[in-house]
Structure 1
Amino acid sequence: MNLPDLVSHLDTELRIAEIPDYSNALNGLQLENRSGKVTKIVAAVDATLPVIKKAVAAGADLLVVHHGMFWTGLQTWTGPVFQKIQTALDAGLAVYSCHLPLDFHPTLGNDAVLARALGFEPCGTFMKTKGTENGAKIETEISRDELVQRLATATGARVHLCPGGPATCRKIGIMTGGAGSEVATVAKAGIDTFITGEGPHWSYTLAEEIGINLIYGGHYATETFGVKALSAHIESKFGIPWEFVDHPTGL
């Protein structure tokens, strides 16, 4: 498939131009390849040098990631930055990144896909980030212990619990990644159990004080879902094969 045609489809599907994001996210196509073609996709969470090397070894000509190449801001093209770009260019590997637009997508997004991996169907949103409604809201009845076990099974990672809220969870909110600092806002939205990736130390103590369950599933582990779902969508629609490259941070 022609790379520009696929990029156009992804930009539209993910509403890249409509959803504000952090300045270093630079959502969309971040690096072209010389051929302008896509025959195989590798999905990953981060566009780091080890991941790019793994994508090249897998024979991909497009890397789809959640965290793009420029998170650390403006840099000189030296050292590992140069190696990353040179490795991709030499191998004909293009890079497409989607951060908040992928988090927020109602069917392909990290929040929604994780909710379904836990056995739930989101019934709406509960937050607003940079002006966009987001977060998967779930209304159900499940024991806190069972929910923690489901999250551990879905992510394959260690789960950390602050049992500040009820033992039976009825209003669950999911916002993957590093949203722990939003615990007070989440509680005001009526959520009794907040699932996210990570957060600052004080988020645990605050959750205890305000009476909400806070469940950390890991920043990386909770954000593997969106890139997989997006790549599967591409294969279903355009027939381009894909694989996931796992390079966990443990955070």
Structure 2
Amino acid sequence: MTLNQLNDYFNAFLKEEEFSRDVSLNGIQIQNKEPDKKEIKKVAFAVDACEATARLAAEAGADALFVHHGLFWGGCQTITGSFYKRISTFINNDLALIAYHIPLDANIPYGNNAGLAARIGLDLEKVQRFAEWLGMEIGLWGELPAPVSVEELAKKALAPGEKPLAILPFGKKEIRTVGVCSGGATEDVEAAIQLGLDAYITGETSHELYHYVEECGINMISGGHYQTETLGVNLVKEKLEKETDIECIFIDLPTKL
């Protein structure tokens, strides 16, 4: 499978064309020398494209790096300073970069929010979409099979050893309905409140929303931007491993945020 074929494989289910308002440049962001000839034998997966993940992928012998947060976000940028270091690490090692941003957040069943919803026990066949961004609904909400406390919900939402950035326990003691929207979707708690949900899970936290969340009486869990967005890349990794002979690795480089 060549680089172009690999990207066709990813886009067959991530469907970047359905998320045209995403400012990220989804798909191949940096090609290799022969995108139609060179065989891709090893793919590294990570949340973020940066100098460190590119270097670690190259050191591991990867031909391509698949990430959620790429390097290009719709505007022009000079290739100087830190950005030069990032770009040159890819080019000097003939390492390709493939990024899927909003398509990876929204995808069912391989996206960040689907992975988060499944992790806490929501049925992916029954969840509904919410949390709109630029006209695109990214988040998912549904009803748990049994009520849980906010502390139990936070534990379910994160992998073993991970800790949330914040828990705002301002809602019902027994939580049944939950909305999830990974990453930096702090303000989408408003959408969860409008739906009357018992709890909302996202990545980041906000001082400005603290009193509003308390006054509206909803539980809110901020699980960490990075920690809530490792799910999608790993689900895509597992799919590629099962369906091809390509070797896959995950580069875990947490930001603690």
Q: Which TM bucket (shorter chain)?
A: over 0.9
1:110-189 → structure 2 map (5 Å cutoff): 110-122=112-124, 123-127=126-130, 128-140=132-144, 141-153=147-159, 156-189=162-195
Structure 1, unpaired ranges of 5+: none
The question of whether the paired residues in 1 share the 8 Å contact of 2:165 and 2:204 is answered with no
Identify if the C-alpha distance between structure 1 residues 246 and 35 changes in structure 2 by more than 3 Å, giving closer, same or farther.
Answer: same
Q: Distance in 2 between matches of 1:112 and 1:74?
A: 32
Bigger mean CA deviation after superposition, 55-64 or 114-123: 114-123
Identify if the C-alpha distance between structure 1 residues 57 and 121 changes in structure 2 by more than 3 Å, giving closer, same or farther.
Answer: same
Q: Distance in 2 between matches of 1:14 and 1:21?
A: 15
RMSD over aligned CA atoms reads 1.8
Matched, 1:7 2:4: no
Show the counterpart of 1:86.
88
The question of whether the paired residues in 2 share the 8 Å contact of 1:148 and 1:159 is answered with no
Q: Distance in 2 between matches of 1:51 and 1:90?
A: 14
Show the counterpart of 1:109.
111
Q: Which amino acid aligns with 1:98?
A: Y
The question of whether the paired residues in 1 share the 8 Å contact of 2:165 and 2:205 is answered with no
Matched, 1:205 2:207: no
Q: Distance in 2 between matches of 1:95 and 1:222?
A: 22
The question of whether the paired residues in 1 share the 8 Å contact of 2:154 and 2:164 is answered with no
SS in 2 for 1:224: helix
Q: Deviations over 1:158-182 (max 9, x none)?
A: 3410011101111001110011111
The question of whether the paired residues in 2 share the 8 Å contact of 1:173 and 1:195 is answered with yes
SS in 1 for 2:83: helix
Q: Which amino acid aligns with 2:210?
A: Y
Q: Which amino acid aligns with 1:132?
A: M
The question of whether the paired residues in 2 share the 8 Å contact of 1:155 and 1:221 is answered with no
Q: Which amino acid aligns with 1:173?
A: G
Q: Distance in 2 between matches of 1:151 and 1:229?
A: 16
Q: Distance in 2 between matches of 1:236 and 1:202?
A: 44
Show the counterpart of 2:252.
246
Identify if the C-alpha distance between structure 1 residues 49 and 110 changes in structure 2 by more than 3 Å, giving closer, same or farther.
Answer: same
SS in 2 for 1:76: coil
Q: Distance in 1 between matches of 2:184 and 2:52?
A: 22
The question of whether the paired residues in 2 share the 8 Å contact of 1:204 and 1:214 is answered with no
Tell me by how many angstroms 1:120 deviates. 3.2
The question of whether the paired residues in 2 share the 8 Å contact of 1:160 and 1:215 is answered with yes
Q: Distance in 2 between matches of 1:51 and 1:137?
A: 32
Q: Which of these residues, 45, 48, 51, is aligned with residue 47 of structure 2?
A: 45
Q: Which amino acid aligns with 2:104?
A: L
* Percent identity of equivalent pairs: 36
Structure 2, unpaired ranges of 5+: none
Tell me by how many angstroms 1:155 deviates. 7.1
What TM-score does the superposition give when structure 2 sets the normalisation length? 0.91
Q: Distance in 1 between matches of 2:245 and 2:210?
A: 45
Tell me by how many angstroms 1:242 deviates. 0.8
Tell me by how many angstroms 1:72 deviates. 9.0
Show the counterpart of 2:97.
95
Q: Which amino acid aligns with 1:157?
A: K
Q: Deviations over 1:218-240 (max 9, x none)?
A: 00110001011112111212221
SS in 2 for 1:101: helix
